[in-house]
Amino acid sequence: MPSQTVPETWFDLQHPDLYRAPHAVLHEMRRTAPVYFSPELDSWMLTRHDDVSGVLRDRRFHTVEEYKKIDALPPEEQRELAPLRRTFLEWGGRDDPAAHEVFLRALKKHFTPRRVAEQRPVIEQMTDRLCSAAVERGDVVDVVNDVAHPLSMSVVCHLLGLRREDVDLGFVLDQSHAIAQLLEMGEPDQLRRSQEGMLTLGAFLAPHVAAARRGERSGLLAAMAGPGTPLRYTDSQVVSQGIMFTVVGYHTTANLLANGLQLLFDHPEQRRALVEDDLTGLPTAFDEMMRFHGPVSTIRRVALEDVTVRGRVIPRGATVLLALLAANRDPEVFTAPDEFDVRRSDAHRQLGFTTGPYSCMGQALARLEGEVFFRILLTRWPDLAPADPEPDWTVFRPLGKELATLRVRTGGGA
């Protein structure tokens, strides 16, 4: 049971309209209750940049939280969801710092800026192909479903070493969407759909893992299972990591591309500034998009012991929600935090990829995808404009929103 059930101030974190304008509430929370216990979410929420970074680096907090939802279910449902629980724990060796270290040592070298830069021509080709196919269907293009989602999933599949002819992109996207149900707060039905997606995607990946063992695949599958790999992963562990990449590397990147474009539509003067600078400011603009509306709004951790933060005791076993979207608007760190400014000098301090031992391994790749995507779209379609009066947001709790579609007029560009 939570130790403090009656907070001194109460914030309605489940208000259905909160996602539209969360920052007034989050500013107030950061000012008056920076370590806040939410009874509805049964979680502690941290909103200050320094507290969030501190917990991300603190080994007294454990990174795997999702299994708690399964463990709280009746025994029969727990048994039913055992494969999902195992897959979560196997992801990136997150269950055990030593296993995580092994994972990092084996795979981090594939994500250095230099290695990632080698992917540029492939990513450019994929983006061009998707844009051309989309305009062939008409002058109105749905950037989310016609470009951003297939692009970021194609990049992950390529990275894994899956051959283009082996991948039915629609199928992989469907499974990954089902798995992303775990982004929600974890109702049993969502967990069941998530498990179904994992099992289906796992069955698709298994023969490719077997082929990687025989030396017939390249990319990350070869790095994890190929002859000469230093990793002693079982096939099931390699499949779990493959599933992880299709979830963590895909959904986030696709949302950043779509949210970022929406931000440029919402702030035409910033789009002009980017174009005036010949798009040389895209790396900073990327950080600013991550800061202003990054794809990951909150990250969960579990306290392994009682931990005192700003005089409040977060009890052992409690869930902590690190509000990245609030930390990214902390006025102690960012000047005029509610202004979207693609030339901002402090944008690189954003925490959208987190920091510390578990921070995003794929950030150089995500940055490259962003650079290629915005360069191609803004150059190819200089008159690009939204086709609908209002953005088509869908909400995921708590505090997250993403675009279900983003229909644009390409302005006749090829």
252 binds ligand HEM (CB under 6 A): yes
User: Which positions from 79 to 98 touch ligand HEM by CB under 6 A, shown as an x/- string?
Assistant: -------------x-x----
As separate numbers, helices (DSSP H) first and strands (DSSP E) second, the chain gives 18, 12
Q: Enter the tokens of residue 271.
A: 């789009």
Structure tokens at 4: 């403090």
Pairing assessment for the beta strands 140-142 and 392-396 based on DSSP bridges: unpaired
Cα-only R_g, the chain: 21
Q: Does 253 bind ligand HEM (CB under 6 A)?
A: yes
Residues that contact ligand HEM, how many (by CB under 6 A)? 27
**3-state DSSP assignment of residue 41:** coil
Q: Binding string to ligand HEM for residues 13 to 52, with x set by CB under 6 A, is what?
A: ----------------------------------------
> Rounded to an integer, what distance in angstroms lies between the CA atom of residue 408 and that of residue 20?
21
From the list 65-73, 277-285, 312-320, 349-357, the region that binds ligand HEM by CB under 6 A is 349-357
Between 64 and 135, CB nearer to ligand HEM: 64
Question: Using CB under 6 A, which of 353, 373, 374, 381 touches ligand HEM?
Answer: 353
Single out the residue of 185, 248, 313, 378 in contact with ligand HEM (rule: CB under 6 A). Answer: 248
**Binding of residue 329 to ligand HEM (CB under 6 A):** no
Smallest distance, ligand HEM to C-beta of residue 63, A: 5
Which residue in the set 245, 292, 334, 340 belongs to the binding site for ligand HEM (CB under 6 A)? Answer: 245
Contact 186, 66 (CB under 8 A): yes
Q: Is 360 in the site for ligand HEM (CB under 6 A)?
A: yes
Residue 370 or 410: which CB sits closer to ligand HEM? 370
Strands 319-323 and 43-46, by their bridges, are parallel
- Cα dist from 284 to 150, 269, 288, 367, 397, whole Å: 25, 16, 6, 10, 29
Q: Concatenated DSSP letters for 225-281?
A: HSTT-S----HHHHHHHHHHHHHHTTHHHHHHHHHHHHHHHH-HHHHHHHHHTTTTT
Nearer to ligand HEM (CB atom), residue 202 or residue 295: 295
List residues binding ligand HEM (CB under 6 A): 56, 63, 92, 94, 104, 156, 159, 245, 248-249, 252-253, 256, 294-296, 299, 352-354, 358-362, 365-366
